[in-house]
Structure 1
Amino acid sequence: MTPQLIATCWVSAGDTAPGLPDETSPIPIEERIELIAQTGWSGIGLVHHDLLQARRTIGYAELSRIIREAGIDIVEVEFLNGWWTTGAERAESDIQRAELFEAAKALGARHIKVGAGETDNPLPLSTMASAFADLADEAAESGIRLALEATPFSHLRTTQEAVKVVTHSDSPAAGLMIDIWHTHRSGLSHDDLWDVVPMDRVFAVEIDDGHKDVVGSLFEDTINNRAYCGEGDFDTRRFIRRTLDAGYKGPWGVEIISAEHRSLPVAEGLKRAYETAMNCFPSTVNAR
């Protein structure tokens, strides 16, 4: 079967990036959906600010209709942070949580991507595990799945830590997001990855590529210097082979976040991201 690829939010967003005060895409949502459909993708990702703008303008019912009529079957929403915090920061996170839950339910999202912030002083794993268990219980009540992503600059710096947090919960909503960028940058090899990750808790997998040397901070590198699949040093093809061998059968998010990608016309960037990703799959999987 041809792999199902999700155009994660930054692949179709144009000239915007994670961490900006306003992450809203300058590209009209209807145009993004049309371009995603035209370039072969099976799924679309939308970030919080894009979702709020769509709710204010066309509404979620109309957004869902446009997505489905374009032939796009998979929706993911992102990015929930701050769920472990307290006080004013937690109050802000709770608003975001409610808004993302609303969007996920209205759009029939496959999962919500969940992060662990950006920090130089990670919290104890027990604190993160307890908070995530509470979050997962709430998500399960709404029929929502959570895909938790470890990032090497966050409170959960390794995939092993994310696994411990997710498996602390017995909620059916508690799952993992496995992204080649973050597993590679944290030092976990493609061959060792599936020895530490339980496949039954993997809700999503993302592919991209990167270069051997980090430019700037890890966060700056991850939002400015990702490469198209197969065009860097991370060996995306081997990652995919090992993931398939481990039994993964779900869709694949393609997350190209880079200054180069943002500089391209959206249609050109989508086409390049799709074709380079597909070229990394074994021919027996990618047969049409």
Structure 2
Amino acid sequence: MSLNQRSVDPRFSLNQWTTRHWPLPDLVAGCVDRGVRGVGLWREPVAEYGVARTAKLVRDAGLSVTSLCRGGFFQRPDAVAENRRAIEEAAELGAPSLVLVSGGLPEGSRDVDGARERVAEALAELAPYAGEHHVQLAIEPLHPMYCSDRCVVSTLGQALDLAAPHPPDQVGVIVDTYHLWWDPAVYDGIARAGAEGRISMFQVADWTTPLPEGVLTGRGMLGDGCVELRRFREAVEAAGYAGPIEVEIFNTELWAMPGAGALDLTLARFAEHVL
């Protein structure tokens, strides 16, 4: 085993979107070469490669799928059927959780309360189906700037309230530093999530300003911004979470790097700023 392999924290998981343009076989080979044990996958590249083929590739490499992204977008008319398919894909991949981004307002709507009610209704329909497939629905609150078009769930407290009617093995929450660092109640929320057994995943990225024009690609490399990454990690651990830590960074400069170089930089920053 190489020095790099020995030095990688076993909790580290590479979210596929961090090295977005790295072909899946190369990503898997690169993770194995560096001793990375987990990968967070996305439905679009998995569909392109084939779900069954991806499951075999990852399994044969000895990697774990730490999550599948993403379901949700409940403002769409076909949302429940599409999310059922996503649950089935997660189960086939061996992913313990399906990340849910709730979706924003329906076109032409100003009814944010109604949009949140639709999320609750969809969860009620989907949670038992997820339970049958041994997949946990993982509600991800997004920063409020995404509320209108992408996610009407903005705080960890809101996510936990939506999860509350359902068994923890069916519905949990994502703690993502990029989206939650600003929330004054986030550490109370993390403690509550831990007490309820609902922390599905801990994801890390940094917040840098000024944001680029395309805010979707504005996540900062670990250590480049203002987020107390280590404090978050200590908080989720204190709440009882001992699972993977996914690095999920949407950043055009990172995507322009060769995949192996981007992974090496990510691993180095993870060790320096998260651990």
Query: Shared topology, TM-score over 0.5?
Result: yes
Is residue 48 of structure 2 the alignment partner of residue 69 of structure 1?
A: no
- 1:190 deviates by 5.7
Amino acid at match of 2:45: D
* CA positional deviation for 1:192: 4.0
Alignment of 1:112-127 (within 5 A): 112-119=98-105, 121-124=111-114, 125-127=116-118
Amino acid at match of 1:123: D
Match of 1:276? 269
SS of the equivalent of 1:90 reads coil
Q: 2:26 aligns with which of 31, 34, 45?
A: 31
- TM-score of the aligned structures, taking structure 1 as reference length: 0.80
Instruction: Tell which deviates more after alignment, 252-261 or 237-246.
Output: 237-246
User: 2: distance between equivalents of 1:189 and 1:237?
Assistant: 17
Deviation at 1:196, TM superposition (A): 4.5
Do residues 106 (structure 1) and 113 (structure 2) align?
no
- Give ranges in structure 1 of 5+ residues lacking alignment: 15-26, 283-288
Is the CA contact (8 Å cut-off) linking 2:65 and 2:93 kept in structure 1?
A: no
The alignment's TM-score, normalised by the length of structure 2, stands at 0.83
RMSD over aligned CA atoms reads: 2.3
Cα deviation, 1:204-258, whole Å, max 9, x if unaligned, reads 1101111254444xxx32x222112222111212211222222211111111111
1:206 aligns with 2:212: no
Q: Does the 8 A contact of 1:39 with 1:274 survive in 2?
A: no
- Structure 2 unmatched ranges of 5 or more: 1-7
Residue number in structure 1 paired with 2:77: 90
Q: Please, which moves more after superposition, 154-163 or 236-245?
A: 236-245
Alignment: residue pair count: 256
**Aligned residues with identical type, % of pairs:** 21
Pairs within 5 Å for 1:8-47: 8-14=15-21, 27-47=22-42
Question: Deviation at 1:113?
Answer: 0.7
Residue type of the alignment partner of 1:97: N
CA deviation profile, 1:134-165 (whole Å, cap 9, x unmatched): 21112112221111101122211211111100
| Structure number with higher relative contact order (C-alpha < 8 Å, ≥ 6 residues apart) | 1
Higher mean alpha-carbon deviation, 200-209 vs 134-143, is at 134-143
Query: How far did 1:94 drift?
Result: 3.8
Match of 2:156 in 1: 159
Q: 1:3 to 1:231 in 2, by over 3 A?
A: farther
Q: CA deviation at 1:115?
A: 0.7
Q: 1:169 to 1:184 in 2, by over 3 A?
A: same
Q: Which moved more, 1:118-127 or 1:4-13?
A: 118-127
Output the CA distance in 1 between the equivalents of 2:191 and 2:88.
36
Distance 2:154 2:111 in 1: 11
User: Runs of 4 or more off by more than 6 Å in structure 1?
Assistant: none
3-state SS of paired residue (2:77): helix
Question: What is the identity, as a one-letter code, of the residue corresponding to 1:7?
Answer: L
Closer, same or farther: CA 114–240 of 1 in aligned 2, 3 Å = same
* Structure 2 match to 1:141: 132
CA displacement at 1:65 relative to structure 2? 2.5
